[in-house]
């Protein structure tokens, strides 16, 4: 596979075997407690300033990922082994509470046999996932209103423009050890307040972000990473650029670091060397930006993605339809189509505005409109009746429509506008490249003028 950068250079990306993939995606939760749901809540350690976000109930005292994993392991060692009842038994899976206020899905398996029944959380890699979306940092700190996003992007863009005017460049110095930031060295002969280099507009920054979010998807597909890693990397990338401008940190470098960090968090271990080699980039760039990325995320690394939620809804739809093999195949097609819809959805602002459960249902709703697998509104009514939600179905359908409208408005950057934005970014980060490009343009104009003069002379002779 070949990944192209905005300057037109092609970078081949070989498919690298990364060994067995273990997804560590946490499930989601409902608004009420579920049997078997307990355990550590993953959370960050630093609370950022979130303008405009709605106040949320204070979650329990958070544990970092390492402490939580150690506590869970100790609990498993102390607990006596549990075995399913003897004799034939059936196992059914039910999605955990797909509701507007909650996000994602934690499958609850019920095993029935001669000795009664037990309830088990879906396990990945031998460990049950017990994170709760309702008390997660994802829900508390990283779901915004549209105006919040505009304010954050505008603030970062304005700050970069001020740095450019003061120093003649926007490239900040990053300490690779602790992620601390310092202002750039002033460009020689730069006069404060005047610069021949023009900063990117907010719209041009958005073009850059979408372009590199697409590149994250391309890299993850080339390495055959699961959807969860791709989604986590994109959400890390989106969150990072709520704090910073692309003029301060080049998105190509941050993109790679986000993929690397998501592989770590999702336990799909790939070394920085292997990742860098696969896309022909210096792996040291990945490592140098790791700490600034983690600090910018406030170490809130547990991310809930819509893909797992879709799995739970598909399982529930299977029970809802109660049909034969033909329905199973149609549901399988619905699942694949919905995943593709989410891939597109991840390039919009929707993951910063809506919960994973809402995104999953919006993708299923749109996919079902094309495939006509089931009566979707009747299915939603059955879900709401089972969970006894105060929110009416009609209101939730409006939320779904808003999400799908946002997706329909997505405009992928064209080659021409991407090259223009990339050229401006290059000049902001390295002003010397601007004078070099101007010199090349003058040479090109001079050559063109000489050729035209010679051609005119030949015609007149």
95-125: pLDDT as tens digits: 333 333 344 333 333 333 333 333 333 333 3
Going by C-alpha positions, the residue among 299, 306, 280, 285 that lies closest to residue 219 is 280
Report which of 269, 273, 265, 272 is spatially closest to residue 294, judged by C-alpha positions. 265
Given a cut of 50, is residue 46 above it in pLDDT?
Answer: no
Confidence at residue 141, expressed as pLDDT on a 0 to 100 scale: 94
Please give the C-alpha separations between residue 327 and each of 76, 319, 324, in angstroms, as whole numbers: 39, 11, 6
| Residue bearing the bigger pLDDT, 68 or 146 | 146
Residue 421 has what pLDDT? 93
What per-residue confidence (pLDDT) applies to 456? 61
The number of angstroms, rounded, from the C-alpha of 84 to the middle of its chain's C-alpha atoms is 38
* Calpha distance 338→364 (Å, rounded): 5
47: left (phi over 0), alpha (psi -120 to 50) or beta: beta
Place of tokens 């003069």: 453
Long-range CB contacts (< 8 A, 24+ apart) of 1-8? Answer: 1/218, 1/221, 1/222, 3/215, 3/218, 3/219, 3/222, 3/279, 5/252, 6/211, 6/418, 6/419, 6/421, 6/422, 7/419, 7/422, 8/419
- Residue 282 region, left (φ>0) first, then alpha (ψ -120 to 50), else beta? beta
User: Which of 39-43, 67-71, 203-207 is the least confident region?
Assistant: 39-43
At residue 147, the pLDDT reads 96
Bigger pLDDT: 146 or 279? 146
- pLDDT of 193 reads 59
Task: Give the integer Cα–Cα distance in Å for 168 and 429.
Answer: 9
Closest CA to 239 of 53, 401, 62, 100: 53
Residues ≥6 apart with Cβ < 8 Å to 206 = 153
**Whole-prediction pTM value?**
0.69
Cα–Cα nearest to 68, from 121, 134, 24: 24
Spatial separation of the C-alpha atoms in residues 365 and 198, rounded to whole Å: 44
SS3 450: helix
Asked which of 165-174, 181-190, 281-290, 354-363 is least confident by mean pLDDT, the reply is: 181-190
Coil, helix or strand at residue 98: coil
* Residue-range domains of the chain with CATH: 2-23+141-296 (1.10.472.10)
Beta bridge partners of 4: 10
Cβ-defined contacts of 271-280 (< 8 Å, 24+) = 274/16, 274/18, 275/223, 278/13, 278/14, 278/16, 278/222, 278/223, 279/3, 279/11, 279/13, 279/219, 279/222, 280/11, 280/12
Write out pLDDT tens, residues 194-243. Answer: 667 899 999 999 999 999 999 999 999 999 999 999 999 999 999 999 99
Q: Higher-confidence residue: 306 or 321?
A: 306
Please state which of the ranges 15-19, 86-90, 278-282, 322-326 shows the lowest mean pLDDT: 86-90
Residue 58 in this model has a pLDDT that exceeds 50: no
User: Mind listing the pLDDT tens digit for each residue in 394-449?
Assistant: 889 999 999 999 999 999 999 999 999 999 999 988 877 654 444 444 555 555 55
In angstroms, what CA-CA distances link 117 with 82, 122, 256? 12, 16, 46
């Amino acid at each position: 596979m070949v990944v192209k950068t905005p300057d037109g250079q092609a970078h081949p990306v070989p498919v690298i075997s990364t060994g067995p993939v273990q997804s560590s995606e946490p499930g989601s939760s409902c608004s009420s407690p579920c049997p078997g749901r307990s355990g550590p809540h993953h959370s960050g350690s630093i609370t950022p300033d979130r303008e405009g976000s709605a106040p949320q109930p204070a979650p329990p005292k958070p544990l970092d990922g390492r402490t939580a994993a150690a506590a869970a392991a100790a609990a498993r060692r102390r607990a006596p082994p549990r075995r399913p009842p003897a004799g034939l038994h059936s196992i059914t899976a039910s999605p955990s509470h797909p509701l507007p206020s909650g996000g994602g899905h934690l499958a609850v398996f019920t095993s029935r046999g001669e000795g009664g029944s037990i309830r088990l959380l879906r396990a990945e890699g031998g460990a049950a996932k017990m994170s709760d979306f309702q008390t997660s940092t994802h829900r508390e700190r990283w779901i915004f209103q549209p105006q919040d996003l505009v304010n954050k992007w505008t603030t970062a863009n304005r700050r970069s423009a001020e740095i450019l005017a003061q120093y003649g460049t926007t490239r900040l110095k990053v300490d690779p050890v602790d992620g601390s930031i310092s202002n750039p060295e002033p460009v020689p002969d730069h006069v404060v307040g005047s610069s021949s280099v023009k900063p990117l507009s907010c719209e041009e920054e958005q073009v850059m972000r979408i372009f590199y979010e697409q590149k994250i998807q391309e890299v993850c597909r080339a390495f055959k990473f699961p959807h969860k890693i791709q989604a986590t990397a994109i959400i890390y990338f989106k969150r990072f650029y709520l704090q910073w401008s692309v003029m301060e940190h080049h998105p190509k470098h941050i993109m790679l670091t986000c993929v690397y960090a998501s592989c770590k968090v999702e336990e799909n271990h790939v070394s920085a060397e292997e990742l860098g080699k696969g896309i022909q980039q210096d792996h040291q760039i990945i490592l140098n930006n790791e700490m600034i990325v983690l600090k910018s995320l406030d170490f809130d690394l547990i991310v809930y993605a819509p893909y797992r939620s879709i799995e739970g809804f598909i399982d529930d739809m299977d029970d809802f339809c109660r049909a034969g093999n033909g329905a199973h195949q149609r549901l399988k097609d619905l699942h694949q189509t919905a995943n593709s819809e989410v891939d597109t959805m991840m390039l919009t602002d929707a993951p910063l505005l809506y919960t994973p459960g809402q995104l999953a249902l919006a993708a299923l709703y749109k996919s079902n409109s094309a495939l006509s697998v089931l009566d979707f509104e009747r299915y939603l009514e059955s879900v709401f009746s089972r969970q006894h939600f105060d929110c009416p179905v009609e209101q939730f359908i409006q939320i779904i429509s808003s999400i799908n409208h946002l997706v329909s408005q997505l405009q992928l950057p064209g080659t021409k506008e991407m090259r223009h934005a990339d050229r401006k970014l290059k000049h902001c980060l390295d002003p010397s490249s601007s004078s070099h490009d101007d010199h090349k343009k003058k040479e090109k104009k001079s050559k063109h003028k000489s050729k035209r003069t010679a051609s005119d002379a030949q015609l007149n002779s």
